[in-house]
A and B are shown apart, each in its own frame.
Chain A
Amino acid sequence: MTWQTYLPYLLVMALVTYLIRMLPLTLMRRQIRNRFIRSFLKYVPYAVLSAMTIPDIFYSTGYTAGVPDGLITAAVGFAAAAVAAWKGKDLLTVAIVACVAVALAQGVLLIF
Chain B
Amino acid sequence: MKKLSFRDGLRHGVPIGLGYLSVAFAFGIQAVALGLEPVQALLISMTNVTSAGQLAGISLMAAGASLMEMALTQLTINLRYALMSLSLSQKMDESMQTLQRMIFSFCNTDEIFAVAASQDGRLGKHYLYGLMIIPWIGWSLGTILGAAAGTLLPEFFRTALGIAIYGMFLAVIIPPSRKQKPVRLVVILAAVISVILKYTPGLRNIPSGYAIILCAVAASTVGALLFPVADEEEEGKEA
**B residues within 8 A CB of A36?**
224-225, 228
Q: Are A41 and B170 in contact (CB under 8 A)?
A: no
- Restricting to A76-100, which residues have a CB under 8 Å from any CB of B? 77-78, 81-82, 84-86, 88-100
Dominant SS among interface residues on chain A: helix
Residues of B within 8 A of A52 (CB): 52, 169, 212
Does A112 sit within 8 A of B, measured CB to CB? no
Say yes or no for B5: interface residue by CB 8 A criterion: no
Is B152 an interface position by the 8 A CB rule?
no
For chain B, residues 88 to 110, give those with C-beta under 8 angstroms from any C-beta of chain A.
88-90, 98, 101-102, 104-106, 108, 110
| Residue B137, interface by CB 8 Å | no
Residue B53 lies at the interface, judged by CB distance under 8 Å to chain A: yes
Q: Which residue of A22, A55, A74, A96 is within 8 Å of B85 (Cβ)?
A: A22
In the complex formed, the residue of B with least CB distance to A81 is B167
A100 / chain B contacts, CB cutoff of 8 Å? 160
- Chain A residues with a Cβ closer than 8 Å to the other chain, count: 76
Extra pairs beyond A21-B85, A50-B215, A81-B170 (14, CB < 8 Å): A13-B54, A26-B102, A39-B229, A43-B223, A46-B173, A46-B176, A48-B110, A49-B173, A51-B219, A86-B175, A90-B171, A91-B19, A95-B168, A106-B156
Q: List 22 A-B contacts (CB under 8 A).
A: A8-B67, A13-B53, A17-B49, A20-B79, A21-B84, A28-B89, A29-B89, A31-B90, A36-B225, A40-B221, A41-B87, A44-B83, A46-B187, A47-B215, A50-B186, A60-B165, A82-B170, A91-B172, A93-B15, A98-B164, A99-B163, A103-B157
